[in-house]
């Protein structure tokens, strides 16, 4: 598959790094020669210095034989123009545009129809969705949704008060009898897709799959709070903040926003009349105390500087028991960040990459099924994928216990006729079902890839 990426900033670089592992032929276009030169050492791709909205540049990149063009410059307008020209130059080329402005976001159906944009990505909106899910379930470090949000993969940390230390997964399932599935266990040394004999220890990061109702029942039985936060302080009034505040207000969660720029504060006051807007430095200890950090149930660090967000989360951990969520853009320090007590960490660039990779794999598929949803999980060491089962699928009509599945792979959930269930060995996958797979095997493109051929 041939792919052109226009715009080689942080998002473009992350996409190129991920897509080069997907059996693709990549061409990178950017106006900055130095930016392209910096990528050439790490990424196997053709690089072209030029304007991605120029027909001449696109012809040089062989747009006529390109399968997908992805425009992720810092300008929504330029991204849309790139897609329009690419589509007119090569009607068979699918186009993907990064569109972040809330105004354009509301007009996406019209934009897709009239401007030849096949699909769009909005890292800020996706990040806001993930953060709002975590604030709805404060115990969670991460919440990924499947089957049109009817099933959830929830990561949490095992604490001593749960009384699970030294118990096997089979023992835990027998004791609590909740219809959930243990899909992954992360310890300091490794990640495993666990079987029933796996022993859980305090400090492990455990991911479970289930419906909201069944997951909540399990958490209540082990003594975890399952109600959403009642209020939250958001520090940094950018685009993610706007999307997040809108979602929280709709969920009847009190919102207080702290933003340095007086002009942006005025804009937010008009856009979000239900929120309290504070003009000030959200990293100031005195300001946080004055604005009630001790009583806050949620604290979200959303400034444009990773260092500020990390320090803010560390500071707020000393000042309150609020659920902390930290936005981080740069990936290079992930190993260090994972050792810090800063609550849940959200990487908007990874969210974008997951959407694009899912789209690329679905485009590559021709039989059996398509990738409906995909997340990189367990610090990028595993994947959770949702496949739609089509006619002539090799796994349809056969009990799961009779399928020769790859090791380190779970059939975690089946959605049939709108009903979501955790499958047993005798369950059968049927045409039309959505099937969720959790595995440490990277690069599954079709449901048939789960078989140990």
| 73-129 tens-digit pLDDT | 999 999 999 999 999 999 999 999 999 999 998 888 888 888 778 888 998 999 999
In-domain check, residue 356: no
Q: Give the model's confidence band at 351: pLDDT under 50 very low, under 70 low, under 90 confident, else very high.
A: confident
Query: 84 and 144 share a domain?
Result: no
**Domain match, 216 and 240 both:** no
The residues near 14 (Cβ < 8 Å, ≥ 6 apart) are 331, 349, 350, 352, 353
The SS3 call for residue 396 is coil
Instruction: Give how many domains the chain has, as a whole number.
Output: 4
As a whole number, mean pLDDT of residues 219-239 equals 91
Residue 17 DSSP code: H
Least confident of 180-194, 230-244, 390-404: 180-194
Query: What is the arrangement of strands in the sheet containing 434-439, beginning at the earlier edge strand?
Result: 369-377, 382-389, 434-439, 409-416, 419-421
Let me know: does 146 contact 153? Beta carbons within 8 Å. yes
Residues 378 and 317 in one domain: no
The neighbour count for residue 253, using CB atoms within 10 Å, is 19
| 117 and 131, same domain (yes or no) | no
Q: What is the band of 444 on the pLDDT scale with cuts at 50, 70, 90?
A: confident
Residue 225 C-beta-side C-alpha neighbours within 13 Å: 12
Residues 320 and 245 in one domain: yes
Q: What is the mean pLDDT of the chain?
A: 91
Mean pLDDT of the 408-412 span: 93
- The CATH number of the domain where 60 resides is what? 3.40.50.720
User: So what's the pLDDT on residue 338?
Assistant: 76
At residue 335, the pLDDT reads: 72
What percent of the chain stands above pLDDT 70? 98
Give the integer Cα–Cα distance in Å for 429 and 305.
46
Q: Please give the helix or strand (H or E) that residue 106 lies within, else none.
A: helix 102-106
Does residue 100 sit in the same domain as residue 197?
A: no
Q: Specify whether 117 is located in the same domain as 6.
A: yes
Question: Whole domain around residue 134: which residue ranges?
Answer: 127-221
- Domain membership flag for residue 242: yes
336 occurs within a structural domain: yes
- Which pair of structure tokens corresponds to residue 199? 């022993």
Mean pLDDT of 419-438: 93
- Residue-level pLDDT at 331: 67
Q: What does the DSSP assignment read for 111-168? A: HHHHH---EEE-HHHHHHHHHHHHHHSTT-SEEEEETTTTEEEEEEE--GGG--TT-B
Q: In this predicted structure, what is the pLDDT of residue 88? A: 92
Residue 152 lies in a domain: yes
Q: What is the DSSP string of 236-304?
A: --SHHHHHHHHHHHHTT-EEEEEES-HHHHHHHHHH-TTSEEEES-TT-HHHHHHTTTTT-SEEEE--S
Are the beta carbons of 269 and 256 closer than 8 angstroms? no
Task: Work out the average pLDDT over 210-228.
Answer: 89
Residue 380 above 90 pLDDT? no
Residue 367 pLDDT greater than 50, yes or no? no
Q: Give the H/E segment covering residue 228.
A: none
246 and 211 within one domain: no
Q: Which is nearest to 401 in space by CA: 383, 426, 375, 377?
A: 426
What pLDDT, on the 0 to 100 scale, is given for residue 218? 93
pLDDT at 22 over 90: no
Residue 305 lies in a domain: yes
What are 33-72's pLDDT values in tens digits?
999 998 888 888 999 999 999 999 999 999 999 999 999 9
pLDDT band at 365 (very low <50, low <70, confident <90, very high): low
């Amino acid at each position: 598959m041939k792919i052109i990426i226009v715009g080689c900033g942080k998002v473009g670089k992350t996409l190129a790094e991920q897509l080069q592992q997907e059996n693709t032929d990549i061409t990178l276009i950017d106006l900055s020669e130095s930016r392209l030169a910096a990528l050439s050492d790490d990424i196997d791709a053709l690089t072209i210095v030029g304007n991605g909205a120029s027909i001449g540049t696109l012809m040089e990149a062989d747009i006529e034989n390109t399968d997908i063009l992805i425009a992720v410059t810092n300008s929504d307008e330029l991204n849309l123009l790139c897609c329009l020209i690419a589509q007119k130059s090569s009607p068979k080329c699918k186009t993907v545009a990064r569109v972040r402005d809330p105004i354009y976001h509301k007009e996406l159906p019209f934009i897709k129809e009239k401007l030849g944009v096949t699909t769009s990505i909005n890292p800020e909106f996706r990040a806001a969705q993930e953060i709002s899910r975590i604030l709805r379930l404060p115990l969670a470090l991460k919440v990924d949704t499947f089957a049109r949000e009817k099933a959830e993969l929830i990561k949490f940390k095992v604490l001593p008060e749960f009384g699970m230390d030294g118990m096997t997964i089979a023992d835990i399932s027998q004791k609590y009898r909740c219809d959930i599935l243990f899909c992954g266990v992360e310890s300091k040394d490794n990640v495993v897709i666990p079987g029933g004999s796996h022993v859980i220890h305090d400090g492990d990061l455990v991911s479970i799959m289930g419906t909201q109702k069944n997951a909540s029942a399990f958490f209540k039985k082990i003594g975890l709070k399952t109600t959403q936060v009642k209020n939250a302080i958001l520090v940094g009034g950018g685009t993610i903040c706007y999307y997040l505040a809108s979602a929280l207000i709709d969920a009847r969660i009190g919102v207080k926003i702290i933003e340095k720029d007086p002009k942006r504060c005025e804009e937010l006051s008009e856009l979000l009349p239900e929120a309290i807007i504070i003009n000030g430095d959200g990293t100031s200890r005195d300001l946080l105390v004055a604005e009630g950090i001790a009583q806050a149930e949620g604290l979200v660090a959303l400034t444009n500087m990773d260092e500020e967000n990390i320090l803010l989360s560390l500071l707020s951990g000393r000042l309150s028991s609020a659920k902390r969520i930290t936005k981080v853009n740069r990936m290079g320090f992930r190993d260090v960040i994972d050792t810090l007590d800063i609550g849940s960490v959200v990487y908007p660039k990874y969210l974008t990459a997951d959407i694009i990779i899912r789209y690329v794999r679905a485009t590559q598929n021709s039989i059996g099924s398509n990738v409906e949803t995909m997340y990189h999980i367990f610090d990028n060491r595993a994947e959770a994928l949702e496949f739609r089962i089509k006619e002539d699928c090799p796994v349809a009509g056969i009990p799961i216990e009779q399928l020769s599945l790859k090791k380190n792979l779970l059939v975690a959930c089946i959605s049939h006729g709108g009903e979501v269930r955790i499958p047993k060995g005798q369950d059968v996958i049927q045409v039309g079902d959505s099937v969720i797979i959790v595995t440490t095997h990277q690069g599954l493109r079709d449901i048939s890839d789960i078989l140990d051929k």
